[in-house]
Structures are given as C-alpha cells and as structure tokens.
Amino acid sequence: MSAVVRVELGPRSYDVVVARDYDAIHAAVSGRRRIALVSDADADHACGALVRNALAGEHETFLMGSGEGAKTIATVEDLCRRFAQWGLLRGDLVVAVGGGVVGDTAGFTAATYYRGVDVVHVPTTLLAMVDSAIGGKTGVNLPEGKNLVGAFHQPRGVYANPAVLASLPPREYQCGLGEIAKYALMDDLSFDVDAVRRREPAVLDSVIAACAAIKARYVAADEFEQTGARAALNYGHTLAHALETATDHSMLHGEAVAVGLVFAANLAGALERIEPAQVARHEEVVGELGLPLTAPSGLRADDLVPLMSRDKKSGGALTFVLAGPSGIERVDDPDPAAVHKALASVGVEA
C-alpha cells in the first residue's frame, strides 16, 4: 500500500509519499548535479544504503551528531563548511535522512547555505513522518530555548517508509505517538490504538497518511503562521518545549507533547472553555497510547513559566493554544491562577 498526500502551496506545492520502499525518490532527485545526504549514525545504519540506492547522480553522505544536543548553530556551520569543501552549489540538493533533529537541522542548513538550496526529507522516526518533516519549519536550539533560530523552507518532497519503524527503539516510537495524540484530539482522528502500538503495518500506514493530511491542510491554510490557523499545530507544545528545555532534553519531544496536551486541556477547563468531559477525553487518549500524563518530578512553576513566555508564538505575553467553543485557537495572558492550577494537574510544583 502507498499513499500520496499533496501539500498545496502554489509553486511550492509538494507530495508526502507514504510507501514501504524508496522507489519514488529516484524521479524526484534526477537531474541534480550533486546530492548531499545528511544523516546521523543510527538513521544511516537503518536505511542510508536503501536511500543511496534510490538516488540519481553524484552523492556524498554527511553525518551529524544524534539527539537534541546536536541541533545547534555549530552543527549548521560544520555542515555548511563540509558542503563548501565538497563543492555543493545552489542548484544542487540536500536530502535529510533521519528523525526530527536531522530534519530540522539539515533543513535549516539548506535554507541558509547559498541563501537556500532545495531539500528533500526522508523521515525515519514516527514523529518525523507524521509531523516534523512536513510543513517547512526548520531550526536549531539555543540554551535559552528550543527552535529559537530557524526559517521556513519547504521541501521538494517528503518520502516516509513506515517499514523502517519496525526496528525503532520503543521509546523513540512512543514519541511519535505524542504527535498522533495531538492530531487525534485536534481533528477527531480515530484508529485502532492497540494496532498502532503494535506497529501493525496496514493500520500504521493509514494513520501516518491521515496525520500527514491533517498537517498538510493546516500548512496550506497558513504557510508562514500569519493568520493564526497554523498555530493549532502547536497544540500542547508551549509547555512541551519548556519541559524539554527544563530537563535538558532528557524528556523527549513526544513525551513532553503528551504532558502538554493534558496541561492544555486542564487549562482550558480551568478557564471554562471546555467541559470536564473534554478534559477527561484528553487524559484518556494520552493514557491509552501509553504516554506520560505528568511532568517529571521536581519541576516548579517558577522554572517553567519564564520558559513558556519565550515561546515563538508569544508576542511578549504568556500565550497558549487551547481548545474552546470555536475550536483550537490562540489565547493570550490567561488568568495566572488557572495556569498554576493546570500546571499542578500535571504534577508541577507551585
């Protein structure tokens, strides 16, 4: 089975191809003089050879470090210098093979090298397949926060092969379930939870394509986050990014998103934007997927609130994306008492 989801952006439109092979990549990259394949050791070991076999033209592999600690300006500089030494030019192509860290970093490198070279994403984690590889957001971290330096740089295509997920470590796979929980709660997406957790191919392929279609719709409506429509994709992410920073990324992104979703529901409930049954539904969806419902112990509100105020969608206010009568929308400067109550609901100390 294969599926093609179109991201409609006028001249920047592209396809997200979900297929259990990489055959479609060959036609997408043909005609390029040189192709720089950026990956980390784990992703390259898992499927680098398969991707290289599908490439057309001269290519070279550039490995970067793994984990959020590698998602830095220093890594971007290192990749750019190696690109230049190899002779990569503006008309050439970058292929990012890996999870969210590789995709975000290689994508930002492509956006800035020669003031922009084309990039193709080959996501190798569930989280990247359903979310981070789609939509053109690229960036790296600073000590002060996650993804604070970046650019919008749409790929020429996204090629997701769910077969590579069979060997993904359990915790890495579970991180992708955090983003799937987000889409389930945003768009009333239903699926066989147990089958997804077991990685059953037919169900998993269908869910990946469905999540990609949801994201494509929001990206097409608001490519550069100017109207507010795309902000809904940040559901659960304000607290999530703060948790990642506060724990020095020992809490992984999907885990943090799961807690962020529970927090956002409790905050919306405290503000009387949604009914208690909807709050309970958020906790149910997150729990059924085996995701955490509470933050790591020892975190305090005084540590997290300043981090949340640095969120990229903030205009200086404390800003959240919350459910309400009109759907999921941006809410600025909610009642501090409600914020602290919601933080307490996910185990954050006052």
Residue type, 139: G
What kind of fold does domain 235-350 have according to CATH?
Dehydroquinate synthase-like, alpha domain (1.20.1090)
253 is catalytic: yes
Q: Which residue has the tokens 């109550």?
A: 341
Output the DSSP codes for 151-198.
EE---S-EEE-GGGGGGS-HHHHHHHHHHHHHHHHHH-----HHHHHT
CB 301 within 8 A of CB 350: yes
**Which pLDDT value is given to residue 228?**
84
**Which pLDDT value is given to residue 183?**
97
Give me the catalytic one of 32, 68, 71, 179.
Answer: 179
Beta bridge partners of 90: none
156 is catalytic: no
**Which pLDDT value is given to residue 314?**
55
At a CB cut-off of 8 Å and minimum separation 6, what does 198 contact?
Answer: none
Give me the catalytic one of 234, 244, 266, 282.
Answer: 234
Q: Which residue has the tokens 């009568």?
A: 325
What letter would DSSP give residue 117?
-
Domain ranges of the chain: 2-170, 235-350
Residue type, 174: Q
Query: Which residue stretches of the chain have pLDDT < 50?
Result: none
**Which pLDDT value is given to residue 304?**
96
**Which pLDDT value is given to residue 227?**
87
Domain 2-170, architecture per CATH:
3-Layer(aba) Sandwich (3.40)
At a CB cut-off of 8 Å and minimum separation 6, what does 58 contact?
Answer: 33, 34, 35
What are the pLDDT digits (tens) for 135-163?
999 999 999 888 999 999 999 999 999 99
Q: Are strands 2-7 and 14-19 parallel, antiparallel or unpaired?
A: antiparallel
What letter would DSSP give residue 224?
T
The CA distance from 108 to 89, in Å, is 16
230 is catalytic: yes
Give me the catalytic one of 52, 153, 230, 249.
Answer: 230
User: How many CB atoms sit inside 10 A of residue 152's CB?
Assistant: 16
Beta bridge partners of 18: 3, 160
281 is catalytic: no
**Size of the chain, expressed as the number of residues it contains:** 350
225 is catalytic: yes
Give me the catalytic one of 32, 52, 121, 137.
Answer: 137
What are the pLDDT digits (tens) for 73-117?
999 999 999 999 999 999 999 999 999 999 999 999 999 999 999
179 is catalytic: yes
**Which pLDDT value is given to residue 44?**
97
